[in-house]
Structure 1
Amino acid sequence: MLRLGLGQIAIIAALVALLILTGIWATMVWNASGDVVMDKHGWIALGLGTFFSLLIGCGLMALMFFSSRSGHDNAADPSRKRREPPTE
């Protein structure tokens, strides 16, 4: 089993604290805006924003995948040696 160092424990603790604070903040904002009504244009904006965010995210992931498969990434770092898979 891998042992964690003091620095790694500090980073994990800081990230957990940020996660808890973000959850508390999100709950406070959710409760504070509970009586706000969103009209038709707000729902359209929310839907289009969600759609285009997913479209851009999936497109960039596809570009990254195809770039990795085509070998263009290897030419960007010629000093890195290619690891050979272990033989059995």
Structure 2
Amino acid sequence: MSGRTIFWIVGSLVLLGALLWGATFFWEGLGSGVSGHGWFAYILGGVLTLGLSGALFALSFYSARHGHDDIDPPAGG
């Protein structure tokens, strides 16, 4: 991986951490506490969403690189 790619990955993770940290202050200001189960569900939902989006991007790139998206000529003609 290039240095630029690593920079963007680390920067994205830092931004995600800052947003999660900021969300705690927002929730605490609303007066409704989030239990441990709530935090687990929140984090699990975020991780699974990122994983699903990454997998779908990988599948679309794989499909495009291996010709699965090419238009085939009609059969018999």
TM-score, normalised with respect to structure 2: 0.54
Q: Cα deviations across residues 35-66 of structure 1 (Å, max 9, x unaligned)?
A: 11001000000011001110000000000001
Cα RMSD for the two superposed structures:
2.4
> Following TM superposition, where does structure 1 have runs of at least 4 consecutive aligned residues deviating by more than 4 angstroms?
none
Task: Name which structure has the greater RCO, CA cutoff 8 Å, separation 6+.
Answer: 2
Q: Which amino acid aligns with 1:63?
A: L
Q: Which amino acid aligns with 1:37?
A: G
Cα distance in 2 for partners of 1:39, 1:53 equals 21
TM-score, normalised with respect to structure 1: 0.48
Q: State how many pairs are aligned.
A: 48
Structure label with greater radius of gyration: 1
Aligned residue for 1:70?
66
**Structure 1 unmatched ranges of 5 or more:** 1-29, 80-88
**Structure 2 unmatched ranges of 5 or more:** 1-25
Aligned residue for 1:52?
48
CA positional deviation for 1:71: 0.5
Aligned residue for 1:39?
35
